[in-house]
């Protein structure tokens, strides 16, 4: 069994901050799901901006603590890399929401549900991996989480291709194709960001085994 708390000095605080950061990714995806359910006139970016701002504060706090209190054998670059990877998840979700609000009047018949399900599963796995770091999860457990993330990333790639297939059919509106290609790709990138965060977690744990 590996204890991430043993690897980190001041372990409780670092683990707490990393978990807060991972939860903000979950909250950003949940906010996106709520956004889709709202009538057009009620949709705003407030929740996304608040989530990303909180994530940025957590990332900055981790960086500050690395300078002032991080004195254990674990390389600080690894923890900084993980903090940045977690920060990019809600940031990418917010970028989708920004563009969606600009174009949603033209997309009333579009269902983002299949991608949303993959995003929800991916951010949940990242949170579970971060929690496993603090609880001392064994290597096989971390490896299984990462395998699931990689499968979700592959599924997201396949789904993206399937959702873009109609763009190449005669008569599909060109402007709508451009808009949807951008939005679909951003949603797929959220899953990529989750996979990246999982890769960092795996790298840190295996290196310090």
Report the range of poorest mean pLDDT among 10-14, 149-153, 192-196: 10-14
**CATH number assigned to the domain comprising residue 135:** 1.20.58.220
What's the confidence (pLDDT) of residue 44? 87
pLDDT at 176 over 90: yes
> Helix and strand tally (H, E) in the chain?
7, 0
137 pLDDT higher than 80:
no
Residue spans of alpha helices (H) in 45-173: 46-68, 76-103, 113-135, 139-164
Tally Cβ neighbours within 10 Å of residue 90: 31
pLDDT band at 30 (very low <50, low <70, confident <90, very high): very high
Helices 46-68, 11-37: crossing angle, 10 deg rounding: 170
To the nearest whole number, what is the mean pLDDT of the chain? 86
Average pLDDT over residues 175-194: 97
The answer on pLDDT for 74 being more than 60 is: no
pLDDT at 128: 93
Per-residue pLDDT tens digits for 187-208? 999 999 999 999 998 888 777 6
Q: Give me the pLDDT at residue 208, please.
A: 65
- Domain count of the fold of the chain: 1
Read off the pLDDT band of 73 (50, 70, 90).
very low
The residue written with tokens 């940025």 in the block is 56
Q: What pLDDT is recorded for position 138?
A: 64
113-134 pLDDT, tens digit each = 999 999 999 999 999 999 887 7
* 175 contact partners, CB below 8 Å, separation of at least 6: 106
Residue-wise pLDDT for 94-110, tens only, equals 999 999 999 998 898 99
- The residue that leads in pLDDT, 175 or 69, is 175
φ and ψ of 25, to 5 deg: -65, -45
The dihedral through the CA atoms of 195, 4, 70, 54 has a sign that is positive
In eight-state DSSP terms, residue 136 is T
Give the domain extent around 67: 4-207
- Structural contact between residues 94 and 51, judged by C-beta atoms closer than 8 angstroms: yes
HSE-CB of 60 using CA atoms within 13 angstroms: 6
């Amino acid at each position: 069994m590996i204890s991430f708390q043993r690897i980190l000095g001041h372990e409780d605080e670092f683990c707490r901050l990393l978990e807060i950061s991972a939860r903000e990714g979950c909250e950003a995806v949940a906010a996106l799901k709520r956004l889709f359910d709202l009538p057009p006139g009620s949709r705003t970016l407030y929740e996304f901006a608040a989530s990303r701002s909180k994530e940025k504060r957590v990332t900055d706090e981790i960086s500050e603590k690395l300078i002032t209190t991080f004195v254990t054998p674990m390389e600080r670059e690894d923890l900084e890399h993980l903090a940045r990877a977690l920060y990019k998840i809600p940031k990418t979700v917010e970028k989708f929401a920004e563009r969606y609000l600009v174009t949603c009047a033209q997309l009333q018949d579009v269902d983002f549900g299949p991608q949303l399900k993959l995003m929800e599963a991916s951010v949940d796995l990242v949170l579970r991996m971060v929690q496993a770091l603090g609880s001392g999860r064994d290597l096989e457990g971390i490896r299984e989480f990462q395998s699931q993330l990689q499968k979700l990333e592959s599924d997201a790639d396949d789904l993206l291709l399937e959702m873009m297939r109609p763009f190449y059919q005669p008569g599909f509106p060109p402007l709508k194709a451009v808009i949807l290609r951008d939005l679909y790709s951003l949603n797929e990138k959220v899953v990529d960001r989750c996979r990246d965060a999982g890769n960092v977690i795996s790298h840190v744990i295996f290196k310090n085994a």
